Amino acid sequence: MAEQKQQLKHLVRVMNTDLIGTKSLNLALTKIKGVGKSFANAICVVSNIPKTMKSGTLDENQVKQITSVINNPLKFNIPLWLLNRRNDYETGADLHITKSDLDFTNDNDLKRLKKIKSYRGFRHHLGLPCRGQRTKSNFRRNKGKTSLGVKRKKKS
């Protein structure tokens, strides 16, 4: 028995995220915040790992390679249109942001829009749609429902 069958791990840790080991690598990578289906496909192509391979069979070198591709996608010639933060407002660079940095930058963008009192910032502040959707018949579900009916006086 020179060749031993590789054990399937049930959980694989990639970029501080637990990936389910029984799923294919292409689908498992989408559990990382900031990695979508097309970006996961690009990661598999660039790192020469088959995307149908189970993620539980990854070894340490492959995990390191996937992590480096996610952290530095431009170094591995991933096209710019796959990045989620092109032409950053502060630096002007093309970035791909993942994990908690994605929430942080999204919050900062919304705060900036509210601070400069742009239309989008104003709509975000009011909790209304800001991309041109109609509001007469939609977005009425949970806006301002505090109490229904008339309150009675308490008997003393």
CATH of the domain at 69: 1.10.8.50
In a domain, 124, yes or no: yes
In a domain, 90, yes or no: no
Task: Indicate whether 66 and 105 sit together in one domain.
Answer: no
In this predicted structure, what is the pLDDT of residue 1? 36
Task: Indicate whether 71 and 106 sit together in one domain.
Answer: no
Residues above pLDDT 90, as percent of the chain = 74
- Greater confidence, 62 or 146? 62
Place of tokens 């002007």: 92
> pLDDT band at residue 2, thresholds of 50, 70 and 90?
very low
What is the Cα gyration radius of the chain? 23
- State mean pLDDT over 50-71: 94
Task: Indicate whether 124 and 66 sit together in one domain.
Answer: no
Task: Indicate whether 73 and 17 sit together in one domain.
Answer: yes
In a domain, 23, yes or no: yes
Average pLDDT, the chain: 88
pLDDT tens for residues 127-155?
889 999 888 888 876 665 555 567 778 88
The one-letter amino acid at 69: V
Compute CA 114 distance to the chain's CA centroid, rounded to the nearest angstrom: 23
> pLDDT band at residue 4, thresholds of 50, 70 and 90?
very low
pLDDT tens for residues 95-120?
999 999 999 999 999 999 999 999 99
Task: Indicate whether 66 and 36 sit together in one domain.
Answer: yes
Task: Indicate whether 104 and 69 sit together in one domain.
Answer: no
- Say what the pTM is: 0.78
In a domain, 149, yes or no: no
In a domain, 140, yes or no: no
Question: CA–CA separation, 84 vs 96, rounded Å?
Answer: 5
In a domain, 71, yes or no: yes
**Residue numbers of the domain that contains 26:** 11-80
pLDDT tens for residues 11-40?
999 999 999 999 999 999 999 999 999 999
In a domain, 148, yes or no: no
Task: Indicate whether 28 and 76 sit together in one domain.
Answer: yes
Question: CA–CA separation, 109 vs 43, rounded Å?
Answer: 27
- State mean pLDDT over 62-75: 95
In a domain, 66, yes or no: yes
Task: Indicate whether 74 and 31 sit together in one domain.
Answer: yes
In this predicted structure, what is the pLDDT of residue 142? 65
Give the count of domains, the chain. Answer: 2
